[in-house]
Amino acid sequence: MHGKALPYLLLMPATLFLCIFFLYPFALVAFEAVTRDGAFTLDNFRTMAGSWKFPVTIRNTLLLAAIVVPIQLTMALLMASVVSRLETGRSAALYIFAIPLGISDLAAGLIWLAIFDQSGFLNTLLSSLGVVDRPVMFLGYQSKLTIFIAVALAEIWRATAIMMVILVAGMGLIPKEYYEAAEVFGASPWQRFVRVTLPLLRPSLQTAIILRVILAFEVFAVVAALGGTNLPVLMGETYNWQFTLQDRNVAAASALLILAISIGFTLFFLRVLRVPKEAWI
């Protein structure tokens, strides 16, 4: 009796936590999104989609995710390969790579603001090198591209390490025998990476990509710090609807949209990178 109940008892705290802090608020938000003054309506979604900023926010958010995530994936794979291969100093390298993980996203945004600002490090450097005679405005409303690049850089700097950590763990799970066999058959390092590492890394890749894509749709503080309202993104608009425009219902609708996009992409990656049961060790 005791033995049978134990797993459920152990699951209880986490389940309760999820119900109270995730499912219940989610139900509230979902309810807010489809009602107004107590009556069922889809007006909130219409209002959200009818706003002149809406297409811009969708475009910016998708574009940011589409550019940032592949770069991060490549970098994380590279960093993880290097770290896995290190004989000595492996932990030191891991720690150093993981430093940005310890910094909040707003702080990360502010750090990059200090670099790109008109009186920031980059301008100081450029003018002391004599490249420019007056400070360049990198983050002005006219230079949307520079703002975009700055945000992408800050995001890459901040969040690549989380993917790397997952991939390092995944690489550690791949048995050495596969590599030895590949070497016996004369596979080059690149071939070993493509034929052995990548396929066997699929579960970790799946986790890493899903996590990063979801976070990419929730990008907020970095954009707020670097772009203000010059680069509107979905999450920023949600905040705007809630706090500036004081419209909880539309904010809830907007939050649900982000959730829907996240779920959509999660399902997509689960499908594309699925691991057949028999294939796994």
Partner 1 sequence: MMKALKILAGAALALSVAAGGAQAQQVLFWSTQARPVEETQKMRDEVLKGFEGAVDYQVAEDGPWLTRLQAELQAGSGTIGLLGGLHGDFSTVGASLVDLSAVNVGGVKVNEAYKKLGLLGTGEQKYMPWMQATYLMAANKQALQYLPAGTDLNTITYDQLIEWSKNIAEKTGSPKFGFPAGPKGLKHRFFEGFLYPSYTGSMVTKFRSAQAETAWNKFKELWQYTNPNSTNYAFMQEPLLSGEVWVAFDHVARLADAFNKKPDEFVAFPAPAGPAGRGFMPVVAGVAIPKTSPDPEKAKALVAYMLKPETQIATLKATNFFPVVDVKLPDDMPASVKAFGPAIATMTGAPDALPALLPMGLGDLGGKFNQVYTDSFERIVLGGEDVHGVLEQQAAALKAIIDQAKAPCWAPDKPSSGACPVE
Task: Out of 181, 228, 260, 264, name the contact with partner 1 by CB under 8 A.
Answer: 228
Applying the rule CB under 8 A, the residues between 14 and 53 that interact with partner 1 are 52-53
# of chain residues touching partner 1 (CB under 8 A): 20
Task: Out of 38, 99, 130, 134, name the contact with partner 1 by CB under 8 A.
Answer: 134
Nearest CA to 82 out of 164, 157, 159 is that of 164
Could you tell me the smallest distance in angstroms from the CB atom of residue 110 to partner 1? 13
Print the SS3 string covering the chain.
CHHHHHHHHHHHHHHHHHHHHHHHHHHHHHHHHCEECCEECCHHHHHHHHCCCHHHHHHHHHHHHHHHHHHHHHHHHHHHHHHHHCCCCHHHHHHHHHHHHHCCHHHHHHHHHHHHCCCCHHHHHHHHCCCCCCCCCCCCCCCHHHHHHHHHHHHHHHHHHHHHHHHHHHHHCCCHHHHHHHHHCCCCHHHHHHHHHHHHCHHHHHHHHHHHHHHHHCCCHHHHHHHCCCCCCHHHHHHHHHHHCCCHHHHHHHHHHHHHHHHHHHHHHHHHCCCCHHHCC
Q: Which residues contact 150 (CB under 8 A, 6 or more apart)?
A: 112, 116, 138, 139, 226, 227
Stretch that binds partner 1, among 34-42, 134-142, 159-167, 189-197 (CB under 8 A): 134-142
Task: Out of 141, 189, 191, 270, name the contact with partner 1 by CB under 8 A.
Answer: 141
Applying the rule CB under 8 A, the residues between 94 and 113 that interact with partner 1 are none
Could you tell me the smallest distance in angstroms from the CB atom of residue 51 to partner 1? 9
Q: Is 247 in the site for partner 1 (CB under 8 A)?
A: yes
Stretch that binds partner 1, among 9-17, 77-85, 136-144, 151-159 (CB under 8 A): 136-144
Q: Is 128 in the site for partner 1 (CB under 8 A)?
A: no
Q: Is 140 in the site for partner 1 (CB under 8 A)?
A: yes
Could you tell me the smallest distance in angstroms from the CB atom of residue 229 to partner 1? 5
Q: Is 243 in the site for partner 1 (CB under 8 A)?
A: yes
Q: Is 207 in the site for partner 1 (CB under 8 A)?
A: no
Could you tell me the smallest distance in angstroms from the CB atom of residue 246 to partner 1? 4
Stretch that binds partner 1, among 100-108, 211-219, 245-253, 264-272 (CB under 8 A): 245-253
Q: Is 65 in the site for partner 1 (CB under 8 A)?
A: no
Residue 275 has which token pair?
Answer: 């691991």
Question: Which residues of the chain form contacts with partner 1 (CB under 8 A)?
Answer: 52-53, 118-119, 134, 137, 139-142, 224, 228-230, 242-247
